[in-house]
């Protein structure tokens, strides 16, 4: 009998990770180098490697695949490298400059140290140059009333002007178009008449919410990326179909939901942070299995350290207390699309250690994959976090990535000596320990900002660590933050968490609409707004083949006190609301408000405003199950592979440390520190005084 497979493929900056789970609950993993010149090559190679692991052919595996979900860096690479489509912008006459002004946003996306030198900060080059921005005569007011009808002749002139300059994609963003989209829709019709092959993005379709700059910037980003993603998805789908895949691929969005691949270019801006979002979704699923609803996620790779949060079983979406509409940013451009809240700093395994007038610093610059850390022996000369861990003995030069990468520990030692230790007048071991401690402190500071500074108590959370470098720091970070438990995903999932998250994710359509309602609240108007938004989301799921009984509808409202300029998002019941429900909604708003801003910050007498109505329609997709294993005793002796000297900074000295093969540890095994547990793709350090236990899913629990 043929096996069925559920597959997830995540393209990272350095490696492409793939996972397949079959209907026998077996897990297969693949990790291949990412191929930036043609990303689909790396994807196809990862599928070949998966098939080898499953002892079948890629054709047979794909022919029996019931779900293939994918997260790509095609769009984020295009943003960072500015290699998107040649894009034009058409906007309301008189508002040609808002992308240049950037809503005072020239510091957005910069490291804090650069913001302190604000006079030197230069705005990023706009994705659409001034010469490709056209204005047309039209105007709609705040209530959606037409003040000036669209001048069709002027619109044709603007379109022809852009076409004459060779644009491949056009963004359309008019003032108040989310209240009345007729002018934008008419302009789209004109563009399609005059240039059927030119991609068109409308602000009123993509993000019909208040915020002129954010809506326009996001629409421009979408137009810039849509042709790139369209070419990529169609090329990959064609190759997979030729190899035997019977179903359309599903693409991950930044909000943690999947969308059919052929529709993803229409929402290209939602794919920018898809891989990061998939990792959080994978942890959410793990939390459901293990019974944890409050989770801090950390993902540390070669370049960055990323922190996400799951509260009460739901990933938090990007929303900053003083400016929710700022949302996330990519390549210094603000986005207004729903995005799982992930905060990052430049502190990865490849982050470079350097001296700033005698002060040791780590990051944000990374050695990347090429040349990489000095110990990779690929020409790198600057010491990194990985080099420090190698010198301290935490990493095994003979078993780095399962022995697939040659490591030269002596070169790491000499780099730290020349660049850090000698200038500071200290020995190499102390310098390496300093690099480690600075990195830990930077990561701990970020985790406190994400939790404590936003009103969350870390003691009520568990910490889940993944990525190639996350697990090795996890136990110390857990102690630093005071979390209740630290979990490192087992069965190889720690280094493939995003790929795992892909294959267990569901279809999702997020839609929103701004309809500003002030007290006294007209409950009928509230229900009409939700009905309009829900209708769009539900119809999309139906079009994607989801049955009504397989849907989950989640509603929320962006609310604020009167005359405030920022909102707080509040979940509300997914039913027709009554006057009696308003009191409960107000209470939820004020509870969240106090959590964010402190007890006593609420002021009911100011009155409340309902601003934006949001709906998430989720459609269940087929999922594989992970295997549970029987307990096999406490002793981990069968997994012991040797000993070596390891320097632990918290005890300030070397310890003769047992080394365990993580893939041979069984449920029930307990490892007492000091110890090092080595997996093919990552390493876990168990510091003196700590204890790690293997659970029934092969996760490590501290």
* pLDDT per position as a tens digit, 347-401: 888 889 999 888 999 988 888 767 889 898 888 899 999 999 999 999 988 877 7
Answer whether 49's CB lies under 8 Å from 56's CB: no
Banded pLDDT at 76 (limits 50, 70, 90): confident
**Best CA proximity match to 699, nearest among 11, 54, 9, 27:** 27
Q: How far is CA 248 from CA 16, 40, 236, 240, 263, in A?
A: 20, 15, 10, 9, 11
Note the pLDDT of residue 107.
66
Banded model confidence at residue 324, pLDDT cuts 50, 70, 90:
very low
How does residue 179 score in pLDDT terms, banded at 50, 70 and 90?
A: very high
pLDDT at residue 160 tops 70: yes
Mean pLDDT of 199-223: 92
Residue-level pLDDT at 98: 83
Task: Let me know: does 517 contact 609? Beta carbons within 8 Å.
Answer: yes
Strands, E assignment, 489-607: 507-518, 551-561, 568-572
Q: 25: alpha, beta or left, given left = phi > 0 and alpha = psi -120 to 50?
A: left
* Residue pair 268/78 in contact by the 8 Å Cβ criterion: no
Whether the per-residue pLDDT at 112 is higher than 50: the answer is: yes
CA distances from 33 to 12, 37, 95 (A): 9, 12, 45
| Residue ranges per structural domain of the chain | 82-272+317-336, 351-439, 507-619, 637-701
Q: How far apart are CA 71 and CA 48, in angstroms?
A: 18
Percentage above 70 pLDDT, the chain: 95
pLDDT score at 303:
76
Q: What is the pLDDT of residue 1?
A: 64
Q: List alpha helices for 364-496, DSSP H.
A: 385-392, 409-416, 422-424, 428-450, 470-481
Whether pLDDT at 106 is above 90: no
Residue 576, number of CB atoms within 10 A of its CB:
12
Q: Residue 326: pLDDT band by 50, 70, 90 thresholds? A: very low
Residue 329: pLDDT band with limits 50, 70, 90: low
Residues 428-470: tens digit of each pLDDT: 999 999 999 999 999 999 999 889 888 899 999 999 999 888 9
Q: Lowest-confidence range among 112-116, 503-507, 534-538, 607-611?
A: 112-116
Report the CATH number of the 507-619 domain. Answer: 3.30.1490
Mean pLDDT to the nearest integer, 236-258: 94
Cβ burial 222-260 (10 Å sphere, 16+ → b, else e): bbbbbbbbbebbeebbeebeebebeebbbbbbbbbbbbb
Asked if 92 and 138 touch (Cβ cutoff 8 Å), the reply is: yes
What digits encode the pLDDT tens for the residues 535-564?
A: 999 999 999 999 999 999 999 999 999 989
Average pLDDT value over all residues in the chain:
90
Determine the average pLDDT of the residues in 200-209.
Answer: 93
- What is the pLDDT, as a whole number, of residue 166? 96
Residue 94, CA distances (Å) to 98, 138, 139, 410 in order:
10, 10, 10, 63
8 Å CB contact between 7 and 67: yes
- Among 96-110, 336-350, 560-574, the range with the most confident prediction by mean pLDDT is 560-574
Q: What is the mean pLDDT of residues 6-14?
A: 87
Q: Is residue 236 over pLDDT 60?
A: yes
Which helix (H) or strand (E) segment is 364 a member of? strand 359-366
pLDDT of amino acid 517: 93
What is the reported pLDDT for 327?
A: 52
**Residue 331 pLDDT exceeds 70:** no
What's the whole-number mean pLDDT along residues 244-272?
93
Of 119-133, 157-171, 223-237, 415-429, minimum mean pLDDT range = 119-133
Q: Kindly report the pTM of this predicted structure.
A: 0.89
CA proximity to 443, closest of 473, 408, 471, 484: 473
Distance CA 486, CA 479 (A): 9
Instruction: Identify which of 99, 176, 82, 179 has the alpha carbon closest to the alpha carbon of residue 133.
Output: 99
Residue 320 clears pLDDT 50, i.e. is over it: no
Provide the pLDDT for residue 34. Answer: 82
Taking 80 as the threshold, does the pLDDT of residue 153 lie above it?
yes
Task: Say whether pLDDT at 16 is over 50.
Answer: yes
Q: Please give the pLDDT value at position 530.
A: 96
pLDDT of residue 405: 74
Q: Are 334 and 105 in contact (CB under 8 A)?
A: yes
Query: pLDDT of 613-642, one tens digit each?
Result: 999 999 988 777 778 888 888 898 999 999
Q: Residue 462: is it exposed, middle or buried by C-beta count within 10 angstroms (0-12/13-18/19+)?
A: buried
Predicted local distance difference test score (pLDDT) of residue 277: 92
Residues in a beta bridge with 656: 645
Give residue-wise pLDDT tens across range 644-702: 999 998 888 888 999 999 989 999 999 998 999 999 888 999 999 999 999 999 999 99
Q: 31-35, 128-132, 212-216, 427-431: which range is least confident on average?
A: 31-35
User: How confident is the model at residue 190, as a pLDDT?
Assistant: 98
User: What residue has token string 């601003």?
Assistant: 611
Query: Which segment of 88-102, 309-323, 640-654 scores lowest on mean pLDDT?
Result: 309-323
């Amino acid at each position: 009998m043929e096996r069925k497979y559920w597959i997830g493929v995540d393209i990272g900056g350095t490696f492409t990770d793939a996972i397949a789970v079959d209907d026998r609950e077996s897990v297969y993993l693949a990790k291949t180098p990412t191929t930036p010149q043609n990303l689909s090559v790396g994807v196809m190679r990862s599928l070949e490697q998966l098939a080898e692991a499953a002892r079948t052919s890629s054709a047979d595996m794909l022919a029996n695949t019931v779900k293939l979900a994918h997260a790509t860096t095609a769009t984020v690479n295009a943003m960072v490298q500015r290699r998107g489509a040649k894009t034009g912008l058409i906007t309301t006459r008189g508002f040609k400059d808002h992308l240049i002004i950037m809503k005072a946003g020239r510091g957005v996306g910069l490291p804090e140290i650069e913001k302190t030198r604000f006079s030197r900060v230069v705005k990023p080059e706009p994705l659409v140059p001034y010469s490709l921005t056209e204005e047309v005569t039209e105007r709609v007011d705040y209530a959606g009333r037409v003040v000036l009808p669209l001048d069709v002749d002027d619109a044709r002139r603007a379109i022809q002007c852009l076409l004459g300059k060779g644009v491949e994609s056009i963004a359309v963003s008019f003032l108040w178009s989310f209240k009345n989209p007729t002018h934008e829709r008419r302009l789209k019709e004109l563009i399609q008449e005059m240039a059927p092959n030119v991609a068109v993005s409308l602000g009123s379709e993509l993000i019909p919410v208040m915020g002129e700059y954010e809506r326009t910037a996001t629409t421009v980003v979408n137009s810039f990326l849509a042709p790139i993603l369209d070419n990529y998805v169609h090329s990959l789908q064609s190759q997979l179909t030729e190899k035997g895949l019977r179903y359309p691929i599903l693409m991950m969005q930044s909000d943690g939901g999947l969308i059919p691949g052929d529709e993803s270019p229409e929402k290209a801006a939602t794919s920018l942070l898809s891989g990061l979002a998939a990792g959080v979704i994978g942890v959410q699923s793990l939390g459901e299995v293990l019974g944890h609803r409050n989770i801090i996620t950390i993902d540390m790779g070669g370049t960055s350290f990323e922190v996400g949060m799951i509260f009460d079983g739901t990933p938090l979406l990007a929303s900053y207390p003083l400016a929710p509409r700022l949302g996330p940013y990519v390549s210094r451009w603000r986005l207004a699309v729903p995005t799982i809240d992930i905060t990052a700093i430049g502190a990865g395994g490849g982050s470079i250690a350097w001296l700033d007038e005698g002060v040791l610093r780590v990051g944000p610059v990374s050695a990347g994959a090429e040349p990489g850390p000095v110990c990779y022996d690929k020409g790198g000369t600057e010491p990194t976090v990985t080099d420090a861990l190698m010198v301290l003995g935490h990493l095994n030069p003979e078993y780095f990535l399962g022995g697939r990468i040659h490591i030269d520990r002596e070169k790491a030692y000499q780099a730290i000596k020349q660049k850090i230790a000698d200038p500071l007048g200290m020995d190499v071991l102390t310098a390496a320990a300093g690099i480690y401690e600075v990195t830990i402190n930077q990561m701990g500071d970020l985790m406190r900002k994400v939790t404590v500074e936003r009103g969350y108590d870390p003691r009520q959370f568990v910490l889940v660590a993944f990525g190639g470098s996350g697990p090795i720091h996890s136990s110390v970070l857990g102690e630093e933050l005071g979390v209740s438990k630290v979990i490192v995903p087992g069965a190889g999932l720690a280094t493939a968490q995003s790929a795992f998250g892909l294959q267990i994710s569901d279809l999702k359509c997020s839609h929103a609409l701004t309809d500003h309602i002030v007290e006294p609240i007209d409950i009928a108007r509230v229900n009409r707004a939700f009905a309009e938004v829900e209708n769009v989301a539900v119809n999309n799921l139906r079009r994607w083949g989801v049955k009504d009984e397989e849907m989950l509808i989640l509603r929320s409202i962006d609310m604020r006190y009167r005359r405030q300029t920022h909102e707080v998002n509040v979940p509300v019941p997914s039913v027709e609301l009554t006057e009696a429900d308003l009191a409960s909604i107000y209470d939820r708003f004020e509870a969240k408000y106090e959590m964010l801003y402190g007890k006593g910050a609420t002021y009911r007498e100011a009155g409340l405003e309902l601003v934006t109505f949001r709906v998430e329609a989720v459609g269940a997709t087929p999922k594989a199950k992970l295997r549970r294993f029987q307990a096999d005793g406490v002793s981990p002796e069968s997994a012991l592979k040797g000993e070596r000297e390891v320097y632990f900074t918290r005890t300030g000295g070397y310890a003769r440390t047992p080394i365990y093969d993580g893939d041979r540890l069984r449920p029930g095994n307990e490892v007492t520190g000091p110890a090092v547990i080595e997996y093919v793709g990552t390493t876990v350090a168990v510091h003196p005084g700590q204890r790690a236990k293997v659970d029934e899913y092969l996760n490590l629990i501290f």
